[in-house]
């Protein structure tokens, strides 16, 4: 009888795993809690076009996605454009793209601006993050950029990603993020070049689905209640339409956030579960807004103003022209929060009111009549919280008894993007095949 392989979750890493297994002629069963696959890379369909629920772009270093696109026959869909970044500080919007922008960034003293630019050039050239895993991001950033730059630029951004433990944030992860952004720029840091895909990320998700569907059974709208190891097989209990169903598997690839896995896993090795339970996740609340006109000249604006209810504004149609979206101007507003944050507990209408009020404060020329539509997506397990010592603990979460792990928790210290998340799924599938001589 053929071995049964089950993938828990239906996001980007799950699709990567199923794709790799399909290439080797193995069938896969995917269990997905929602009605669509793709997870954080999934899209809305609005007036005939697709737009991601959460902001996305490709980096020039995303070699895996480029290879996948070639294999899937969609390599001609890539779009590359230069983008501009802004920085909103104390109710004023500054350019933050080129060295000249940095020189004009008056919140920093002139010599600190010079130091900032030179430090970013150095980070762009050096991929090796060394021994920064156990180093405080705060300590490292102050040492590299100076205290004033840390307080005015980096501390607000650390607060976005590490709202629960700023003091314990990992310098290695921050270095990985800065390196990815710096590498996307020209050698002189004059501009940043980012990629997208005609038809959006839906083109990639759809192409992956079309390639795996003949070898994959996808069980939608199903919550995984329990996974247990018994008599050389896994027993997976799922709830679908208020009915309990049991699925047995010879091999399992878990792509669920580890906080979820820790709740459903039964009789697994204590040392493994101890390491899994150390990894916690940050939530995100992201609004996608359709407007009649543009707000600014910038694609990405980091927000460092305590009186605004969000941490960033991404004007997508300053990256991909509005003609691709029925001439709508599309803006993302996002906020990374802990589950204790007031926004996580209130209803959508309250968040919408706060977000739009903040946006209007930031851009007084915006009229409420300019708003065509507003969509809100909340994801409780958007990103692992990468604290000091994360790498050491991550490496202890090893494959066990025909169980393999994939997902965003394994991308550290690299940038948390779709390219790197898909890679974790492909790697898990390769390990499964190799270790079991399949």
Please report the pLDDT score of residue 405 as a whole number. 97
Domain ranges within the chain, ordered by starting residue: 5-79+199-279+386-435, 98-186, 281-384
Return per-residue pLDDT of the chain as tens, 438 residues.
Answer: 457 999 999 999 999 999 999 999 999 999 999 999 999 999 999 999 999 999 999 998 899 999 999 999 999 999 999 999 999 998 999 999 888 899 999 999 999 999 998 898 888 777 776 788 889 999 999 999 999 999 998 888 777 666 556 678 889 888 888 887 776 665 555 567 899 999 999 999 999 999 999 999 999 999 999 999 887 899 999 999 999 999 999 999 999 999 999 999 999 999 999 999 999 999 999 999 999 999 999 999 999 877 899 989 999 999 999 999 999 999 999 999 888 888 899 999 999 999 999 999 999 999 989 999 999 999 999 999 998 999 999 999 988 889 999 999 999 888 789 999 999 999 999 999 999 888
CATH, range 5-79+199-279+386-435: 3.50.50.60
Sign of the C-alpha dihedral computed for residues 94, 97, 100 and 103 taken in this order = positive
Task: Classify each residue of 334-351 as buried b or exposed e, where b means 16 or more C-beta atoms within 10 Å of its C-beta.
Answer: bbbbeeebebbeeeeeeb
Q: What is the per-residue pLDDT for 384?
A: 93
| Three-class DSSP labels, 253-314 | EECCCHHHHHHHEECCCHHHHHHHHHCCEEEEEEEEEEECCCCCCCCEEEEECCCCCCCEEE
The closest of 195, 250, 169 to 7, measured between CA atoms, is 250
281-384 architecture in CATH? Alpha-Beta Complex (3.90)
């Amino acid at each position: 009888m053929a071995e049964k392989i089950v993938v828990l979750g239906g996001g980007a890493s799950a699709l990567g795993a199923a794709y790799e297994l399909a290439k080797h002629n193995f069938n896969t069963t995917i269990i997905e809690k929602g009605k669509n696959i793709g997870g954080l890379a999934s899209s809305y369909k609005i007036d005939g076009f697709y737009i991601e629920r959460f902001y996305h772009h490709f980096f020039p270093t995303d070699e895996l996605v480029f290879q996948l696109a070639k294999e899937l026959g969609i390599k001609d869909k890539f779009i590359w454009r230069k983008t501009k970044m802004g920085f909103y500080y104390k109710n004023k919007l500054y350019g933050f793209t080129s060295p000249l922008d940095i020189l004009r960034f008056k919140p920093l003293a002139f010599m600190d601006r010079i130091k900032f630019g030179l430090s970013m050039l150095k980070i762009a050239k050096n991929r090796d993050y060394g021994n920064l895993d156990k180093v405080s991001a705060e300590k490292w950033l102050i040492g590299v950029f100076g205290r004033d730059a840390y307080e005015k630029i980096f501390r607000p951004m650390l607060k976005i990603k590490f709202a629960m433990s700023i003091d314990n944030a990992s310098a290695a992860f921050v270095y990985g993020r800065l390196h990815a952004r710096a590498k996307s720029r020209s050698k002189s840091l004059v501009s940043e070049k980012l990629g997208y895909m005609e038809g959006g990320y839906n083109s990639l998700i759809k192409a992956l689905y079309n390639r795996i569907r003949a070898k994959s059974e996808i069980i939608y709208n199903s919550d995984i209640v329990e996974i247990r190891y018994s008599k050389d097989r896994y027993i997976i209990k799922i709830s679908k339409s208020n009915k309990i169903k049991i699925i047995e598997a010879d091999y399992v690839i878990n792509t669920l956030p580890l906080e979820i896995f820790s709740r459903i896993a039964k009789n697994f090795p204590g040392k493994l579960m101890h390491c899994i339970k150390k990894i916690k996740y940050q939530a995100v609340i992201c609004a996608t807004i359709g407007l009649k006109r543009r707000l600014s000249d910038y694609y990405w604006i980091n927000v460092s103003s305590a009186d605004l209810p969000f941490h960033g504004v991404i004007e997508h149609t300053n990256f991909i022209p509005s003609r691709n979206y029925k001439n709508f101007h599309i803006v993302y507003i996002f906020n990374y929060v802990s589950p204790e944050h007031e926004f996580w507990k209130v209803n959508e209408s309250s968040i919408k009111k706060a977000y739009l009020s903040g946006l209007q404060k930031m851009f007084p020329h915006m009229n409420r009549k300019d708003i065509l539509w507003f969509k809100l997506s909340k994801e409780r397990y958007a990103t692992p919280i990468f604290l000091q010592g994360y790498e050491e603990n991550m490496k202890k979460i090893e494959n066990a008894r025909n169980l393999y792990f994939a997902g965003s928790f394994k991308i550290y210290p690299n940038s948390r993007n779709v390219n790197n998340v898909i890679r974790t799924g492909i790697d898990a599938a390769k390990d499964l095949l190799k270790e079991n001589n399949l």
